[in-house]
Structure 1
Amino acid sequence: MGQLFRSLAVGFFLLLTSSVGAAATAKATFGGGCFWCMEPPFDKLDGVLETISGFSGGHVKNPTYEQVVRGNTGHTEVVQITYDPEKITYAELLEVFWRNVDPVDAGGQFCDRGHSYRPVIFVHDEEQRRLAEASKSKISKGLNHKNLTPIEPFKAFYSAEDYHQNYYVKNPVRYKYYRYRCGRDQRLKDLWGAPKA
């Protein structure tokens, strides 16, 4: 009987702590052109637990990369971030997002053109919407240009194929070559100045 009670107590404790841990995390979903390039700036932040490259905003369930880039699904390439709001805020994530996109280009990002590469913020709740709208307004004033980045309600997220995940880690030479040829860093420097160390 004592062993059974101990087993039940341990099981209850594990269930309680796992549900507390799950409740303590939040998600943010951002589109900023090629999702390979959107993982690194968030991965290095304290409080970011995971980044996953994938697709959001479309009408096709479980789309493949090829379907999305052909433009028939309505999806945008995104990075979905799981973070600990006790360590990093959504407002801080927005600051990092803006400095890694060209918010005045609604037709794509850098060398990647089309709907699937547009900059976009998918908000998960009304608080995220409020913060995103305020941040967008502030960025527009700072750039002295209309911010064309849409803010849309999050509906669904589909993870991209495994070979896309952490591409910059698994294929560093190809990643750096692509990023350079796409003109991403040059344009970001023009918009925001030299990156902070």
Structure 2
Amino acid sequence: MEQKHWSHTGPWAIQSVAVLTACAGFVFARLVPESTVPLIIGVLLSCVIPQLVGGIILFRRGEVLLATICCLFGTVITMGAAFTLYEMVFMAPKPGAFTPQLLGVFWFVLFIITEVFAIGFGRASWFLLLGIAEVGVAFLFLSINAWSGSETAGVIGGWLLIFFSAFCIYASSALLLGEHFERPILPMGKPIFK
């Protein structure tokens, strides 16, 4: 009996990241009314499964870098944001009772981790390095927003999340079509590091 290998789950996981960063970006950029914010909890939680399961399968395939970032997005970022938002929206005794300064630490640590990931992705392509580095900068602006209450920093972070969503759509499409046609269809750029 021929042993089948695990398929590449990267496109599925990255597409879910595109969905969640687009929705979160629209919230932070203030492009949707605040009354819709509680709905993002469901979006975030539904995006956990592709990222977490996809990441586990990628670990099985030996793709440590992509697997790690998928699982980080699927657990810490997505579930962490969903549960924190749930606490702030539904568990607070009154609006504004829970202040977001701790999220400043959360976003800042994610900024640092993401920039390390960006260096690793530079071994695959300059395009991936820039895309991952860009979302790290989004996390930095969200950190500034949480620590200082700067609405401008939150809006900038939101727009950067929207741009990252577009990056994820392109990158996942390139991976998906490349796997399907068994050759590169959409360019991803050359590696920076060997």
TM-score, length basis structure 1: 0.28
Q: Which structure has the bigger radius of gyration?
A: 1
Q: Decide which structure has greater helix share.
A: 2
TM-score, length basis structure 2: 0.28
Q: Decide which structure has greater strand share.
A: 1
